[in-house]
Amino acid sequence: MGKRLGPRPLPGHLATALWTWTSSYAALPLWKSGWLPSSPELAETADRLRADLENVSPEAFSAALAKVATRRHHDLLSGIQAYRHHPYRRDVTDPPAIWRDGSTCLRDYGAVEGARSGGPVVLCVPSLINRAYVLDLKADNSLLRTLAADGVRPLLVDWGWPGPAEKSFTLTDYIAGRLEGALDAACEVARGPVAVLGYCMGGMLALALAQRRRRDVGALALLATPWDFHAEQGAQARLAARAGQLMEPAMQAMGQLPVDAIQMLFSGLDPHTAVRKFLTFGRLDQDSRRAEVFVALEDWLNDGVPLAAPVARECLYDWYGANTPPRGGWQIAGRPVDPAHADMPALCLVPQHDRIVPPASAAALGRALPRAEVRTPPLGHIGMVVSGRARDKVWSPLLTWLKARMLRRK
């Protein structure tokens, strides 16, 4: 059993931790002398801390700070090592593919053990960046297997690892080409229109597909799907676009945005996320279910795929930089993607605690769709599909909504 390579990018996470803790130590003299200003919202806390330290020896405090920084660094390394050597390995068997085109295939969850036949067909569209199996993380923690067991037939678009052909792909190639081919196969299985479910970036692809093929899409469910990239964190979105410019040499040389570069962009949303979670993981009982679920999810996060350079440019420069979707500037095959033209029943699930897709960004799409119902489960971006509360807060309401919309059509 080999060691894991993650968390990716490991040098970046270690550098963030080291910089944070050593800079705290180095900044102490400036802070004590009043030369290091605090942000306005922390001013009161900073004043209290100065009062508490007024009679503390500077040498003693410096030594204590160094001791804490050293201990945290040791604990972080221990947590990472515990993850890298954890015995869990995903042992879920992927269902059979009923359609293929290049690296892309369509997996039939109506064929898994325990699936109930005869229900509505749902074409499930994940992001191009991460592996599709986040919707089928473990045998006992799987949105798609749960839907199948309750009478829905999910067909999962598995984008696979992009090969030479996909390196030149644009979003038009993926949507008007691969995704429409998958929809054709799904409609053949259903002998009529199907529901389409999109998660994260996959929701934007699903939206564009639904607009292009309105007669074949009976209902549209969008989970944590961004739309207005400047609605809540515009400065951060524009910063991501500028970061993409720094990656242009790599994209031009390789024809794609590498996995570790994508991971660096995501870590920029909250650079300390990895540090916090591995400090916490190191304190867990490593034989517990909580530890196993953490490892399963972390394995998925580190099992990313590169993004074709043309697609990466569309996402970074157009979506994040210029905010083209809500401004009518995002086009597929020469036609603007306009939610107003996706006039089928729609469900927008906007998780309240999403740190990847700001809730205001996803809520904007719910307002733009003419027949959308918006719900706000009290979960995070990934938690809405894998957490312990996902079944009650997301999976069950989603199942009820899909059945009500699609069975009504029969």
Pick the CATH number of 97-232+306-407 from 3.60.15.10, 3.30.1180.20, 3.40.50.1820, 1.10.340.30: 3.40.50.1820
What pLDDT is recorded for position 38?
63
Distance, in Å, from the CA atom of 195 to the CA atom of 210, rounded to the nearest integer, reads: 9
Distance, in Å, from the CA atom of 123 to the CA atom of 181, rounded to the nearest integer, reads: 12
Residues contacting residue 293 through CB under 8 Å, at least 6 positions apart:
138, 141, 386
State pLDDT tens for residues 343-366. Answer: 999 999 999 999 999 999 999 999
Q: Tokens 């809540």 — which residue? A: 232
CB count within 10 Å of CB 33 equals 8
Distance, in Å, from the CA atom of 237 to the CA atom of 190, rounded to the nearest integer, reads: 39
Distance, in Å, from the CA atom of 394 to the CA atom of 25, rounded to the nearest integer, reads: 44
State pLDDT tens for residues 214-245. Answer: 999 999 999 999 999 999 888 889 999 999 89
Strands (DSSP E) found in 114-271: 121-125, 153-158, 194-199, 217-223, 256-257
Q: Tokens 């009679």 — which residue? A: 55
Nearest alpha-carbon partner for 93 in 78, 75, 108, 72: 108
CA 116 to chain centre: 29
Instruction: Mean pLDDT check: name the lowest of 69-78, 132-141, 186-195.
Output: 69-78
In sequence order, which ranges of 85-172 are alpha helices (DSSP H)?
Answer: 143-149, 171-172
CATH 3.40.50.1820 domain position(s) in the chain: 97-232+306-407
More confident residue, 30 or 117: 117
Categorize the per-residue pLDDT at 1 as very low, low, confident or very high, splitting at 50, 70 and 90: very low
Q: Is 175 a residue whose pLDDT tops 90?
A: yes
Mean pLDDT of 62-89: 90
Percentage of residues of the chain with pLDDT beyond 90: 74
Which tokens belong to 223?
Answer: 């989970």
Which tokens belong to 138?
Answer: 């473990």
Q: Is 27 a residue whose pLDDT tops 80?
A: no
State pLDDT tens for residues 273-286. Answer: 889 999 999 999 99
Q: Is 163 a residue whose pLDDT tops 90?
A: yes
Is there a contact between 348 and 366 (Cβ–Cβ < 8 Å)?
yes
Q: Which long-range contacts (CB under 8 A, 24 or more apart) does 238-244 make?
A: 238/320, 238/321, 239/268, 240/265, 240/268, 240/316, 240/320, 240/321, 241/316, 241/317, 241/320, 241/321, 241/322, 242/321, 243/268, 243/316, 244/312, 244/313, 244/316, 244/317, 244/320, 244/321
